[in-house]
Structure 1
Amino acid sequence: MSYGTATFWIIIAAVSASFGALHGLLFADGPNTAGMIYGTCIGVLAIAYERGVFLAGYTERLRRLPTLAYFAAAEISLVLVIVVSMALTGLVLWTLGIVEKPLIGAVTPKLSTIPFALAMSAIIVSVLRVRDLIGGETFVNLILGRYHRPVREERVFLFLDLAGSTAYAERHGDIAAQELLTAVFSAIAEPVRRYRGQVDDYIGDQVIVSWPLARGVERARCVACVFAIRRALEADRDSWLARFGLVPELRAALHGGSVVTAEVGVDRHKIAYFGDVMNATARLEGLCRETRRAVLISEAVLSRLPVLPEGITAEALGSYQLRGRSETMAVHALADGRRPRIVGARAEVDADHRVAGQRYAAPRG
């Protein structure tokens, strides 16, 4: 559930309305319609501000402040948002005749209400930030305890790796490289949400995304997600060049199958996947370097897709025995037929296949 979906905002509105009812129960004669409307409007506007729906540039500038200054400015800003929300809601309710107060009374917040609204908003924001930290689907699964006991399930995995990140760090330093990774990871988030995937982990300059197998192959979501990410990066070419002097290139590998999923950890819990599928996907992503292909997919996943997304073509590369595996894997390269390949001349590709054959095994098939 992404922050742009109707479901997300309906849940936020419902939770905020319940806090409005709680305020009436604690500080008035009981829950009432006006109080629930106040709660809904205040909660939705506060979360919209915190999520950057409006005043995004301002909140971004706040985050650049020293830590103590940031917390102080952020709290003051949230209080102002709450006060303005109360005033606007009161004006609307007074105009509609829902509250029987003079205009000044309707738009002037009560001093006792502001701390309550601030506390409730802080609770919602804290929960959302935990959700951000571990991922929405992981958060729900931890709350429900779905993986307290190991579960075997079928999943599709997408491993994404930023090409050239080590060289960039050597030229510009680790801090600049981290800023680049942060920007790339942020750009990846929206396409992953759009195609109903979940980001499972960040490992250095690598991102691991997954889907339950049925969801990932339906409408070829896992493939569509890869190319949506690549197009999003290309669409912001000028911005990337101005900020970092390059347009990020991602190597991608798609593979899937049976894994064991379990909740692990004591002080810090996470949901982890175990099985050969994870190792095989990592090896497949490494094969991108050898084949000079940006996107590789295993036969195991490709054969389950009902159809490839429009404009995407698949090229069979043969079977490879990946490092650490006794069995071979049939591998295909995916490309956007509407764009030129990023690899060089065909001779370079053929030469690289020979290298791959020496390092792994000669392609079969």
Structure 2
Amino acid sequence: MRTFMFTDIVGSTALVEAIGDEAWHDLLHWHDEALRRCFAENTGEEVDHAGDGFFVAFPDARAALGCAAAIQRRLAEHRRDHGFAPRVRIGLHAAEATRVGEDYVGAGVHAAARIGALADGGEVLVSVETLAGIDDVTFGDPRETTLKGFAKPVQVVAVDWRRPG
């Protein structure tokens, strides 16, 4: 069992158009380095990086939740100190998956990606089942959703990363 994280910068195409290629390159470099530091600090294993998004595997949900909160806090701090930071959406889901070389495959990986795609910028969205046994995380009301390609609905919650525990 691993916990999978998918991240994505919201509105990246419009952002590139607004700030230009050179500024986008600099922003993306900062973003990638900031997130990779959070992954390393929280035992995350970068599985894939494409464009402005990451696919990361964690040994457990607590590590993934800590990383997701650290990412959003780091972005909020940069926004406060420098007037801007990209809005990043994060999705988490714990599941069994098969390791194939450097990659993970399986329905749980797809579910994590779909949950990430549902999140808003600045939001950490997590399947309720991922939070099983974790009682020191503050989150919103559960909502039921059907993930694209999945027949059975899942419950997801937004984690309040601004508050510890």
TM, length-normalised to structure 2: 0.88
1:224 to 66, 85, 101: 66
2:127 to 280, 284, 298: 298
**Structure 1 residues 303 and 229, CA gap change in structure 2 (3 angstroms):** same
**Structure 1 residues 332 and 273, CA gap change in structure 2 (3 angstroms):** same
2:112 paired with 1:281: yes
Matches for 1:41-190 after TM superposition, within 5 Å = 154-190=1-37
Aligned match of 1:211: 58
Higher RCO (C-alpha 8 Å, min separation 6): 2
Q: Work out the CA distance in 2 between the residues paired with 1:259 and 1:223.
A: 19
Q: Secondary structure at the match of 1:233?
A: helix
- Where does structure 1 differ by over 6 angstroms across 4 or more consecutive aligned residues? none
Aligned match of 1:247: 85
**Structure 1 residues 238 and 327, CA gap change in structure 2 (3 angstroms):** closer
Give the greater-gyration-radius structure (CA). 1
Aligned match of 1:237: 79
CA contact (8 A) 2:4 2:58 kept: yes
Q: Work out the CA distance in 2 between the residues paired with 1:255 and 1:233.
A: 22
Greater fraction of residues in helix? 1
Aligned match of 2:94: 256
Q: Secondary structure at the match of 1:199?
A: strand
Deviation at 1:204, TM superposition (A): 1.3
1:330 to 138, 155, 158: 155
Q: Work out the CA distance in 2 between the residues paired with 1:189 and 1:323.
A: 28
TM, length-normalised to structure 1: 0.42
Q: Work out the CA distance in 2 between the residues paired with 1:163 and 1:293.
A: 9
Which amino acid in 1 is paired with 2:43? R
Q: Work out the CA distance in 1 between the residues paired with 2:138 and 2:162.
A: 6
Instruction: Work out the number of aligned pairs and report it.
Output: 164
